[in-house]
Structure 1
Amino acid sequence: MSATATSAVSLQRRARLLWLIVLAVLLAAPFIGLYPVLMMKALCFAIFACAFNLLLGFTGLLSFGHAAFMGSAAYATGWLVRSAGWSPELGLVAGTAIAALIGLLVGLIAIRRQGIYFAMITLAMAQMVYFVCLQAPFTGGEDGLQGVPRGHLFGVVPLGHDIAMYFLVLAIFVGVFLGVIRIVHSPYGQVLKAIRENEPRAVSLGYDVDKYKLLAFVLSTAIAGLAGALKTLVLGFATLSDVHWSLSGEVVLMTLLGGMGTFAGPVLGAFTIIGLQNFLADRVGSWVTVIIGAIFVVCVVAFRRGFVGELLAWQQRRRNAA
């Protein structure tokens, strides 16, 4: 085996070991003093960031309206569980399906455009969803949906206990994370990366790039919807902030801060942003957005690939030097 292959195998082993350590920390989090609700919120946003990274990092499509899919699923799940009496698992499935359906409708309109035009169409459609959530009678308007019960998972496991709910959220996060890795490493994922790198060449090879991009968009919106549905069950409410355009900006920040096009980057970015918001909220008030914006500027200037991207680039330079 060559030195390069040996180095690659060693790197993969270290990466697996690191992920096992991270998983062990997440499993032990409620028992070592970490607030379960905060951890669940961070995991929900990590799922959201993974969904966005699948679209931007591995397909090259920038959406400015992803909050619409997270928020619409949040409202749908909240109403179905609270008002229609659905079980939490059915509420999660329904919220995910509704987000995927809205994503399909938006994608059919936007996917034939590229660059800033695609981004602006997604933003415009997201603003339409925001207006519906503001005006529709079942959403609660500016008050939002309040008092959403967690219920019992499959009629057996009481999710009202934070520990039980935490392990459900963690299990879904792990499933989503492994699913995204499987998608990216599949032949379909390789085509997505080819489209990201050189779309005209992918077209010349005979791929129907619009269909590939549409499927990626729908998958991304479905995962974003799952994140929103989970968040509603965790916190017990859905508000207009879940569909506001600023949330779409936050997920862009999470992805770029951690490292676009990496698996760990969006997760690290989500935990960083949610942790900073929670830590700074009581200390600086509304200045928290200014501080996070400054951090983003520093990251773009000094760490253009994000935290994880810069680390991987540094490791690559070491291997090349060796």
Structure 2
Amino acid sequence: MGPEWAILGATSVSLVLGAVVGLLAIRLQGIYFAMSTLALAQMVYFYCVQASFTNGEDGIQGIPRGVAFGVWDLSTDLSMYYFVLLVCGAALLAIARLVHSPFGRIVAAVRDSEPRATSLGYNVSRYKLAVFVISAGMAGLAGAVKAIATQIASLSDVSWHMSGELLLMVLVGGLGTISGPLAGALVLIGMATYMSELREWVTVVQGLVFVVVVLSLRAGVVGSLSGLMRRRLQAAPRVSAASLPGASAHTSGAG
């Protein structure tokens, strides 16, 4: 069985689990929503600690990369890199298409004003559940690809620390943007990779970066840069009608 089937299976299971958890979680809001999802995630973590198939703290090791689609040998790091790049690109395109679709516009309306969306006749709970399930599917897809690429699935992949890192990436990159989380991931993972000699101090540096971004770039790196470019374009001087060739003559003739 090729790795594409393992990825499909992991994504499908994540979609189902997302639907089950979402049915319970979408009824809550604010801090209650966050705490409920965190509690359910911790339940999964403790189950994986006790389960025999996870090998406890050792995790599932020696995961074979295999041959994708029967022709793509993923045994080398370079071929695995291009495979991951393909999956990430396809996921980003799918997300971008979804965001700019009628479904995405309705979800944005629900985000901006849930009561108004309800008054317009939209089933808010259904759209919230759909977004929750899609997010779970994307998480399952990413987890499956990571396990195949690194050839190990450790307990850290299902711990609350991983959820915190993902949230940190989104906040640093910028909420409400497609490229923001990607930029945040590049920044934080790049720091962890190239500053590995600092060991536990890497987490401290990442925390400082997060504080600086929150205080100075409220919309995140990408969101703030996009807003700055948008304001500059709007403030750019426009050619007035009076400065156009022939405008003065036309005005004089009219007088």
Q: TM-score, normalised by structure 2?
A: 0.91
C-alpha distance in 2 between matches for 1:146 and 1:128: 22
Q: State the shift of 1:87 in Å.
A: 2.3
Of 183-192 and 309-318, the range deviating more from structure 2: 309-318
Residue in structure 2 matching 1:175, options 90, 93, 106: 90
Q: Which deviations, in whole Å up to 9, do the C-alpha atoms of 1:257-286 show, x marking residues without a partner? A: 11111111111111111100011112x111
Aligned to 1:304: 218
Aligned to 2:152: 237
Aligned to 2:168: 253
Q: State the shift of 1:306 in Å.
A: 0.8
Is 1:121 the counterpart of 2:36? The answer is yes
C-alpha distance in 2 between matches for 1:153 and 1:126: 31
Q: State the shift of 1:155 in Å.
A: 2.6
C-alpha distance in 1 between matches for 2:112 and 2:233: 24
Q: Which deviations, in whole Å up to 9, do the C-alpha atoms of 1:51-80 show, x marking residues without a partner? A: xxxxxxxxxxxxxxxxxxxxxxxxxxxxxx
Structure of greater Rg: 2
Is 1:155 the counterpart of 2:90? The answer is no
Aligned-partner residue type, residue 190 of structure 1 = R
Residue in structure 2 matching 1:268, options 141, 166, 183: 183
Residue in structure 1 matching 2:120, options 188, 192, 205: 205
C-alpha distance in 2 between matches for 1:211 and 1:154: 35
Residue in structure 2 matching 1:317, options 205, 216, 231: 231
Unaligned runs of 5+ in 2: 237-255
Q: State the shift of 1:117 in Å.
A: 1.0
C-alpha distance in 1 between matches for 2:199 and 2:177: 32
C-alpha distance in 2 between matches for 1:319 and 1:159: 45
- Provide the secondary structure at the position in 1 that maps to 2:10: helix
C-alpha distance in 1 between matches for 2:148 and 2:208: 32
- How many residue pairs end up in the alignment? 236
- Provide the secondary structure at the position in 1 that maps to 2:60: coil
Indicate the RMSD between aligned Cα atoms, in angstroms: 0.9
C-alpha distance in 1 between matches for 2:58 and 2:83: 28
- Provide the secondary structure at the position in 2 that maps to 1:181: helix
C-alpha distance in 2 between matches for 1:245 and 1:146: 21
- Provide the secondary structure at the position in 2 that maps to 1:137: coil
Aligned to 1:99: 14
C-alpha distance in 1 between matches for 2:14 and 2:108: 24
Residue in structure 2 matching 1:164, options 79, 84, 91: 79
C-alpha distance in 2 between matches for 1:297 and 1:272: 14
Q: State the shift of 1:316 in Å.
A: 1.8
Aligned to 1:288: 202
Q: Which deviations, in whole Å up to 9, do the C-alpha atoms of 1:159-191 show, x marking residues without a partner? A: 111121111111111111011011010000001
1:14-53 mapped onto 2 (5 Å cutoff): none
- Provide the secondary structure at the position in 2 that maps to 1:251: helix
C-alpha distance in 2 between matches for 1:169 and 1:110: 31
Q: TM-score, normalised by structure 1?
A: 0.72
1:72-151 mapped onto 2 (5 Å cutoff): 86-151=1-66
C-alpha distance in 2 between matches for 1:279 and 1:99: 32
Q: State the shift of 1:144 in Å.
A: 0.5
Unaligned runs of 5+ in 1: 1-85
C-alpha distance in 1 between matches for 2:95 and 2:70: 29
